[in-house]
Structure 1
Amino acid sequence: MTSPSYPVVDVLRTRHTGYLLATSLLGRLPGAMAALAIVQLVRSTSGDFAFAGLITAVYVIAGAVGQPLLGRLIDRLGQVAVLTVSGILSFLAFTGMALTLEPLPGLAVALAAAAGVFTPPLEPALRALWPRLVAPGPQLKAAFSLDAGAQEIIFIVGPLLTVVGIAVFGPVGNLLFAGALGLVGAVAFVLDAVPRAASTSRGSGGPRHPGVRSPILIPAVARVAVFTFGIGVPVGALTIVATASEAARSNEGLAGWMLAVNALGALVGATVVGIRPLGSTPARLLTVCGVLLAVGYLPLAATALPTWAYIAVAGISGLMLPPTLGQVFERISQLSPAAALTEANGWVVSAMTLGVGAGTLVAGAVVGAAGTSMVAWIVLGASTLTALLSLVALPGRAAVPTDLPVNIARQ
Structure 2
Amino acid sequence: MSSSASLADYRAALTAPGAAVPVLASAVGRFPIAMLPLATLLYVQRATGSFAAAGLVSAGQMIGVAAGSVAQGRVVDRLGPSRPLQVIVVLFVLAVGALVAAVESAQPLPVVVVLATVAGAVRPALEGASRSLWTTLVPPGPTRAAALTYEAISLEVFFILGPAIAAFLVAAPWPGLGLAVACTAMSLGAGAFALSRPARGIGHAPAREGVSLLGALARPGMRTVAVAALGFGLVIGSVEVGVPAVTAAVGSPTLGGVLLSAWSISSVLAGVLYGMRPWPRPLHLRMPALLGGFAVLVAAMALVGPTGSLAVLVITMVFSGALITPQVTGHSLAVDIAAPPGAAAEAFGWVITAATLGIATGQSSAGIVVEQFGPAAAFVSGGTAGVVLAAVLWLRRATLLPRPAQPSAAVA
TM-score after normalising by structure 1: 0.89
Summarize the Cα distance change of 1:299–1:6 in structure 2 as closer, same or farther, 3 Å threshold: farther
How far off its partner does 1:355 sit?
1.0
Structure 2 match to 1:128: 132
- Give the secondary structure class of the aligned counterpart of 1:302: helix
1:64-79 map, 5 Å: 64-79=66-81
Is the deviation greater in 133-142 or in 159-168? 159-168
TM-superposition CA deviations, 1:109-135 (whole Å, max 9, x none) = 111011100011111111111222222
- Deviations along 1:150-169, whole A, 9 cap, x unmatched? 10111111123213433456
Work out whether residues 95 and 179 of structure 1, in 8 Å CA contact, stay in contact via their aligned partners in 2.
no
| Alignment deviations for residues 132-152 of structure 1 (CA, whole Å, 9 cap, x no partner) | 222211112221111111101
Q: Does 1:344 align with 2:347?
A: yes
Which amino acid counterpart does residue 262 of structure 2 have in structure 1? V
Q: Structure 1 residues 8 and 381 mapped into 2: Cα distance closer, same or farther (>3 Å)?
A: same
Q: Deviations over 1:191-240 (max 9, x none)?
A: 22111111x2x2xxx42331233111112211211121111111111111
1:165 to 157, 166, 169: 169
2-structure distance, mates of 1:169, 1:344: 41
3-state SS in 2 of match to 1:272: helix
292-301 or 317-326: bigger deviation: 292-301
* Aligned counterpart, 2:100: 98
Could you tell which deviates more after superposition, 85-94 or 303-312? 303-312
Q: CA deviation at 1:285?
A: 2.1
How far apart, CA to CA, are the structure 1 residues paired with 2:101 and 2:313? 42
Given that residues 233 and 386 in structure 1 are in contact (C-alpha distance below 8 angstroms), is that contact kept between their aligned partners in structure 2? no
Q: Which residue of 2 aligns with 1:240?
A: 241
**1:379-400 CA-partner distances (Å, limit 9, x unpaired):** 4424423423432541x24456
- CA distance in structure 2 between the aligned counterparts of 1:141 and 1:169, rounded to whole angstroms: 45
- Corresponding residue for residue 12 of structure 2: 10
> For residue 209 of structure 2, what is the aligned residue in structure 1?
210
Q: Which of 105, 111, 116 is matched with 1:112 structurally?
A: 116
Seen in structure 2, the aligned counterparts of structure 1 residues 293 and 160 have a Cα distance that, compared at 3 Å, is same
The aligned runs of 1:249-264 (5 Å cut-off) are 249-264=250-265
Change (3 A) 1:261 1:389: farther
More off after superposition, 180-189 vs 209-218:
209-218
Query: Given that residues 96 and 119 in structure 2 are in contact (C-alpha distance below 8 angstroms), is that contact kept between their aligned partners in structure 1?
Result: yes
Aligned positions, number = 395
Residues 1:293 and 2:294 aligned together: yes
Q: Report the RMSD for the aligned CA atoms in angstroms.
A: 2.4
Match of 2:24 in 1: 22
2:298–2:380 contact (8 Å) kept in structure 1? no
Work out whether residues 165 and 174 of structure 1, in 8 Å CA contact, stay in contact via their aligned partners in 2: yes
How far apart are the structure 2 equivalents of 1:262 and 1:282?
25
Residues 83 and 56 (structure 1), Cα distance of their counterparts in 2 relative to 1, 3 Å cut = same
- Letter matched to residue 283 of structure 1: H
CA distance in 2 between partners of 1:372 and 1:139 (Å): 42
Match of 1:273 in 2: 274
Structure 2, unaligned runs of 5 or more: 1-5, 407-412
Is 2:180 the counterpart of 1:176? yes
Q: Deviations over 1:313-332 (max 9, x none)?
A: 21221211211221221121
Distance 1:67 1:75, change over 3 A: same
Q: Is the deviation greater in 15-24 or in 324-333?
A: 15-24
Instruction: Work out whether residues 7 and 275 of structure 1, in 8 Å CA contact, stay in contact via their aligned partners in 2.
Output: no
Cα offset for 1:186?
Answer: 0.3
Instruction: Determine helix, strand or coil for the equivalent of 1:171.
Output: coil
Query: 1:66-120 CA distances to partner (integer Å, 9 max, x unpaired)?
Result: 1010110111222111111112211221121112125213322111011100011
- Compute the displacement of 1:18 (Å): 4.5
* Equivalent-residue separation in structure 1 for 2:350 and 2:326 (angstroms): 19
Given that 2:303 and 2:376 are in contact with CA atoms closer than 8 Å, whether structure 1 keeps it comes out as no
Q: Distance in 1 between matches of 2:148 and 2:172?
A: 35
Q: CA distance change for structure 1 residues 47 and 296 in 2, over 3 Å: closer, same or farther?
A: same
Q: Percent identity?
A: 28
Is the 1:21–1:147 Cα contact (8 Å) retained in structure 2? no
In structure 1, the gaps of 5 or more residues are: 406-411
Answer whether contact 1:95 1:175 (CA < 8 A) is retained. no
Structure 2 distance, partners of 1:275, 1:220, is: 25
Q: In the aligned structure 1, how far is the partner of 2:235 from the partner of 2:129?
A: 26
Q: Give the 3-state SS of the residue equivalent to 1:31 in structure 2.
A: coil
Moved more, 356-365 or 315-324: 315-324
Give the structure 2 partner of residue 59 of structure 1: 61
